[in-house]
Structure 1
Amino acid sequence: MNKKALTSLILASAVALALAGCGNSQSDQGSAASNNAASTATADAGAAQSADGVKEIKLSATNFEFDQKEIHVKKGDKIKLTLTNTEGMHGVAIPDFNVDLKGDGSAEFTADKAGEFTFNCSVMCGAGHDTMTGKLIVEE
């Protein structure tokens, strides 16, 4: 294989991998729109209290949205945030609490300051990546 053909093959493979992170089809957009109403009803839908006092929050990521736009916790809560990718490859970052999950997994932190904190997808996942955000609301 000549050098030009090899370079083209490597470039095509890199582009294919980048695009595979998050697809965006019309069915994805329709599903996102139909789920939008449910995702704005946030409260503690994905939360449970464990025996050791840790509040477990489950967050699901699909192409270009999280299933919860807002997550409400109390100041001082010990949080275990678990991310599950149901479509595409995503992450979640909450910079104010040093959380940065890339792919499925969990992170634990203490909500030790009150306020509204933005969380976002931490894996470049495609055209809608910049819109994958939400708010962690820590109440006094």
Structure 2
Amino acid sequence: MLYTTFAKAKEDNACTGSYKKMAKYLGGVRKYGEDKPIPLDEVLKVCGLQDAIWSLGCTTEPSEDILIEFACRCAEHVLHIFEDKYPDDKRPRQAIEAAKLCITDKSTTAWAAAGTAAWAARTAAWAARTAAGAAWAAETEWQSQTLLELIGGK
């Protein structure tokens, strides 16, 4: 399980509304403790997917690999939509592969390749952006379940 704390969230400029919502849920910051670990599955449950994803950036232990893995899984989950429309455009798939390589290969070469591929994929993604709107609710549910799986939540 991954954790954050009120102190880390405050230090990283958490949005006030979500910070207060979580504090209220846990009985207040002083009562709960600024440095007491908050499980990310609780953040997901109380504050929602976007705040849980944001919280991956201020965990008590390194979570970069999980964030990259989550991004790759989300991209792979909808890649077929892009590839159905643009079957000859391999930029998004190459960006996913480059990002996955960064999890196992920490060299600057891997990170540079991922950055180049990601920029190309971003350009391609803008071209296919309209296809994403129709599947938003179902995708959000899938992303929530995938994030729970990756962080060891309930």
Give the TM-score taking structure 1 as reference length.
Answer: 0.21
Higher strand share: 1
